[in-house]
Structure 1
Amino acid sequence: MKLRALLTMPELRLRAVTGEDGLDRDIRWVVTTDLLDPGRYLSGGELVLTGLVWWTGPGDSEAFVRALARAGVSGLAAGDVIRGSLPPDLVAACRRNHLPLFEVPEDVAFATVTEHVVRHLSTARAADLGAVLDRHRQLIAGLTHGTGLDPLLDLLSRDLGMRCWVLTPTGRLIAGTHPLDADPAALAGEFLAAPRLPHRLPGPDLSLLPVAAETTSRVADWFIACAGDWTAWPAERRALTDELAAIVALERARQDDRLSAEGRLSQELVRLAASGTDDVLPHLRLTGLDPDVPFTAVSATAGGGLRPGELRTVLAEVLPGRPLIGLLGDEAIALVPSAPDLAPALRDALSVLSPGLPDLAAGVSKPAAAGELRGAVEEARYARRLATARTGPVRVVGHDELATHVLLLASVPDDVRQMFRERLLDPLVTYDEEHKADLVRTLETFLQQSGSWTRCAERLHLHVNSVRYRIQRIEDLTGRDLSRLEDRVDFFLALRLR
């Protein structure tokens, strides 16, 4: 509501005394006061009503009007039932401070002025809310018709002057109808590292807003960059950006392929590749990918509150080409076509996201033919286990860091590996459970120390004779001889298979 609208209300009969050039100011609320200095009770944009009880002489007018001007009020409406007219010094003070002044007739109560203005403000805000809801319907209609987010952002820019862009945490631009005068990667870094959201960037004068902060980890979410300072937006504009965020969340969910036919096919392919069945090639042909192209396997797990589905989203964002990604429990497996040197690129891409990835371990296999995907998955898993043992928020281990015996173990069927491990170690595990003898740990330490009785005893804080007794018990329970290289190798491999 503008100050000018006060002059169009016949019930009030207000007269503009001075400040006609400020009649286009907005009225945010109405306040009645008889204090000489009411500034601490004002926040700006008010129409102040006063009966001049504070006035005792010409000097009071300047103090009162200056307090109103400092507070940023829109205008002053005054009436003096005792003197019948406004003091000339009050008119002069309003003129000097560029404050619009209205005279209230003696027979018009301040309550009547307040009632009419508040009713007008409520009607205007209801109309603004209706406009917001109408725009919301337009936005939803555009999304439903599959036109994407660009037409929606164009609507906001055209109707409200709001310039917005939608980006991923890697800095990939999803939508935007204007050139973005800022580095998208830098914006993504600010989004990931911001202590709280929304977050204002004073340099480029942008505000960063999350899309689904309450339901999605920041590193798996999209974000909206809007021109301007969000703290200065009116309530209606903030409500509209909340609606926009909800709609962007719908578009993000629509683009998530987990429930699509292609996503379900990727999940099934990953399951088949990990199990080593013969049905991989027929399913691979259904995806439209060339089965003659080598695939690189990636195994990843995450902590720090990142859910498996969100881990899958992160991998889909950073991996090249058309990766086939599935979940096996809390582990994400990706099969990436034509990616011969993937580990360094994946390490660099995930490092960019490290502010939002407190704990992620990934392993990368060497390229393998479509018929050898099971071995590639196992190799990636071994590399991921090695990465898990390392420190840092993001750890990526490539196949070139694996020892040769790990490559051998990756090609052995699961049932064979399980049988091998159980035959060698189960007698020791059972004995440890019954007698608390710590034979498995003793065996592992003995092999790590290359069969040295002394060094093994030092590591375990035991007497050498105690170590000899435990090794003898291991040999008795398993029928193996730890002085023989072949038996030591078998035990070493069995321990690696745990």
Structure 2
Amino acid sequence: MVITVDGLIAVPSLGLTYLAGSRGGSRPVTWAHACDLPDPWRWFQAGDLVMTTGGGLPAGSAEQTRWIDRLIGSRVSGLVLAMAADAPEVTPGLRATAEEHDFPVLLADFDLQFVTLARTVIESAVESERERLATTRRLYDMYWQSLRARGTFDERLSALEGSVGWALEVRDLEVGETLARGQAAANRQPARPGGLIDEATQVPLPGTSDVTLMVRPGRRPVQDRLLLQHLGGLIALELEHHAAQRDHLRASGQDLLVGLLDETIDLAAVWPELRHRGMAAGVTVACWKASDATPLLHEHLHHDVRLRHSAPLLAYRSGALLGIVPDDSELLTSLTTKLGGGCAVGLSTPLAASSRVSEAARQARLAVAGAHEAGTPLARYGTHRSGSWFLPHSIEETRQLVRRTLGPLLTYDRDHGGDLVTSLRTFLANDGAVQRSSDRLGIHRQTLVYRLRKVEQLTGLKPTSTRGAAVLWLALQAADSTQLPLDDLTD
């Protein structure tokens, strides 16, 4: 490590003592220069140690205070005074300003050869650079060995901790969750809920916005910025590799889900793949949809840190995001916030290897409609009861009702290009008023009467009677509640 001001004090041959600012003794010293000019801050940079015989030090108290304040502002590590006989005396104002800023001011004998002090600093800097290079080499070697051994992300961080002597954690700041941590970071004890004993150094990772590397002292203090940059680069490469893998899983998962929805693939054939994707426990079909049909912000959902342990099958269709996902209500609800305002999620009944995914998707669509109706972020199919308590409770019950009641009308319309269903819907919506209904349809009154008689002939239900109107209206309401085309319910 680079020598510190305290480290120089500890070298007996230098004979240095503190005049002020001993609390700043942990400052690293990267170089040392002698300067008796009145404006040394123009010739030094951060980390340098200024050595002077007092030739450039002003005599007055106010002037010395301004002088030391300017020097502190240049971010040098400290000041060594080896005062010549004709040098001005150091004023209390200079000492007080140095103490206030924890800026080290050291006293040395005038006989001290500044070259000796400079050599000590330079040798330390050279040794520090040699150690940094060796540590960096070990860092990359160890990381490569861990990759070849197919270790986990946590194991690779633990290996890096052994090289650098720090506690390492990769954290997503947006959701406040840890992506990975080394053993040293995992063993740290919280000082209080939500906080750790030591302040962490945050290292931004190239190519990421919310993910950062948190570095805390371990065997060594966190001082080497260049080594931190090497660490950040390695972690960024790891995250980029993970992101590419998840992009591939998203694309292949979409192909699988489309095949399952179109029933060109059986779920039983995909079941082992679900386990491979981290969904060995219960799975379900989810449907995310906005209440106002606003397009969902789904493109990067598979990168969300909350899905780091699983890779769902996702496909975006008709303004809704469908997925075969872990059956975890808390997880699925939390993801709605990533997809946009007014989004809710509906869940099907749990899937088994023999399930029909197309049917489960219909259940999920019905459930998300129920969620929007109830104003809740999540609804499960079969558990949500809307205000329409008299409607069938399942899609299969609805399908049977529609087939039995409206099936003949749909078949007639399809075969003859008729408008029986549209005419019936308009007639019922206008409370059985023939003239108002025919006006809405833009047809003659007698044409509508003829169509209603045709409805009675095909279904056995008279639309103008209380019983007939009630049964036909119920079938139309049940079909509408599924948000599915009538043809889909009669196939």
* Pairwise TM-score range, normalised by the shorter structure: 0.5 to 0.7
Q: Does the 8 A contact of 2:315 with 2:322 survive in 1?
A: yes
Q: In the aligned structure 2, how far is the partner of 1:74 from the partner of 1:306?
A: 51
Q: How far apart in 2 are the matches of 1:57 and 1:423?
A: 105
SS at match of 1:299: strand
C-alpha distance in 1 between matches for 2:373 and 2:164: 53
Q: Report which stretch shifted further, 400-409 or 358-367.
A: 400-409
Contact 2:297 2:338 in 1 (8 A): no
Deviations 1:175-211 (A, max 9, x none): 4313253599x86xxxxxxxxxxxxx57774567787
Tell me the distance in 1 between the aligned counterparts of 2:304 and 2:16. Answer: 68
Find the aligned partners of 2:267 and 2:199 in 1 and give their Cα distance: 52
Q: What residue is the counterpart of 1:307 in the other structure?
A: 299
Report the 3-state secondary structure (helix = DSSP H, G, I; strand = E; otherwise coil) of the residue aligned with 1:349: helix
Distance 2:337 2:44 in 1: 42
Residue in structure 1 matching 2:225, options 213, 231, 235 = 235
In structure 2, what is the equivalent of residue 381 of structure 1? Answer: 365
- 1:465 is displaced (CA, Å) by 7.7
Matching residue of 2:439 = 469
Alignment match, 1:74: 77
Distance in 1 (CA, whole Å) between partners of 2:203 and 2:337 is: 17
In structure 2, the gaps of 5 or more residues are 290-294, 386-390, 401-405, 456-462, 486-491
In 2, are the aligned partners of 1:36 and 1:63 still within 8 Å (CA)? no
Residues 43-52 or 96-105, more deviating:
96-105
- CA–CA distance in structure 2, aligned partners of residues 41 and 286 of structure 1: 65
**Structure 1 counterpart of 2:331:** 349
Q: Distance in 2 between matches of 1:420 and 1:211?
A: 60
The letter for the 2-side match of 1:376 is: A
* Offset of residue 255 of structure 1: 7.3
CA displacement at 1:494 relative to structure 2: 5.8
Q: Does 1:89 align with 2:89?
A: yes
Task: Give 1:470 shift.
Answer: 0.6
Written as runs of structure 1 = structure 2, the 5 A alignment for 1:84-483 is: 85=85, 87=87, 89-90=89-90, 99-101=105-107, 128=132, 131-132=135-136, 134-166=138-170, 174-177=180-183, 178-182=186-190, 205-206=199-200, 214=208, 225-227=214-216, 234-249=224-239, 252-253=242-243, 256=246, 259=249, 270-277=257-264, 279-284=266-271, 297-301=284-288, 305-307=297-299, 310=302, 314=306, 317=309, 325-329=312-316, 331-334=321-324, 346-351=328-333, 358-359=340-341, 360-367=343-350, 370-373=353-356, 374-387=358-371, 394-401=377-384, 404=392, 407-408=395-396, 423=413, 451-452=430-431, 469-471=439-441, 473=443, 479-480=451-452, 483=464
Structure 1 residues 144 and 308, CA gap change in structure 2 (3 angstroms): same
Residue 301 of structure 1 and its aligned partner are, at CA, apart by 3.1
Judged with a 3 Å threshold, the aligned counterparts in structure 2 of structure 1 residues 126 and 491 are, in CA distance, closer, same or farther, namely: farther
C-alpha separation in 2, matches of 1:313 and 1:295: 20
* Separation of aligned partners in 1, 2:263 and 2:432: 42
1:329–1:135 Cα change, 3 Å: same
Percent identity between the two aligned chains? 16
- Who is 1:497 aligned against? 484
Report the alpha carbon displacement of residue 248 of structure 1 after superposing the two structures with TM: 4.1
Q: CA deviation at 1:66?
A: 7.8
Partner in structure 1 of residue 292 of structure 2: none
Distance 1:135 1:335 in 2: 38
Cα separation, 1, equivalents of 2:18 and 2:282: 76
Q: Is the 8 A contact 1:52 1:79 kept in 2?
A: no
Deviation at 1:139, TM superposition (A): 1.6
Letter in 2 for 1:380: A
CA contact (8 A) 2:18 2:107 kept: yes
Quote how far apart the aligned CAs of 1:358 are: 4.4
- In 1, Cα distance between the equivalents of 2:150 and 2:160? 18
Aligned to 1:196: none
Structure 2 CA distance for partners of 1:120 and 1:465, relative to 1, 3 Å = farther
How far did 1:146 drift?
A: 0.6
* Superimposed CA distance per residue, residues 307-354 of structure 1 (whole angstroms, 9 cap, x where no aligned partner): 265179856758xxxxx8423335332166xxxxx5xxx333345567
CA shift digits 1:291-313 (9 cap, x unpaired): xx997632233766342651798
Task: Kindly indicate whether the alpha-carbon contact (under 8 Å) linking 1:58 and 1:89 is maintained by their aligned counterparts in 2.
Answer: no
Residue type of the alignment partner of 1:307: E
Distance 1:377 1:315, change over 3 A: farther
Determine the C-alpha separation between the residues in 1 that align with 2:431 and 2:199.
67
Instruction: Look up the equivalent residue of 2:395 and give its one-letter code.
Output: L
Gaps of 5+ in 1: 8-13, 188-200, 319-323, 337-341, 430-438, 455-463
Give the Cα–Cα distance (whole angstroms) in 1 for the partners of residues 426 and 170 of structure 2. Answer: 54
CA offsets per residue over residues 87-118 of structure 1, 9 Å max, x none? Answer: 2734998899762246899x999xxx999989
Report the Cα offset of residue 276 of structure 1. Answer: 3.4
Distance 1:422 1:34 in 2: 104
Partner of 1:193: none
Let me know the Cα RMSD of the aligned residues: 6.3
Q: SS at the partner of 2:331? A: helix
AA in 2 matched with 1:181: Q
Partners of 2:202 and 2:18 lie apart in 1 by 39
In structure 1, distance between residues paired with 2:382 and 2:212 = 35
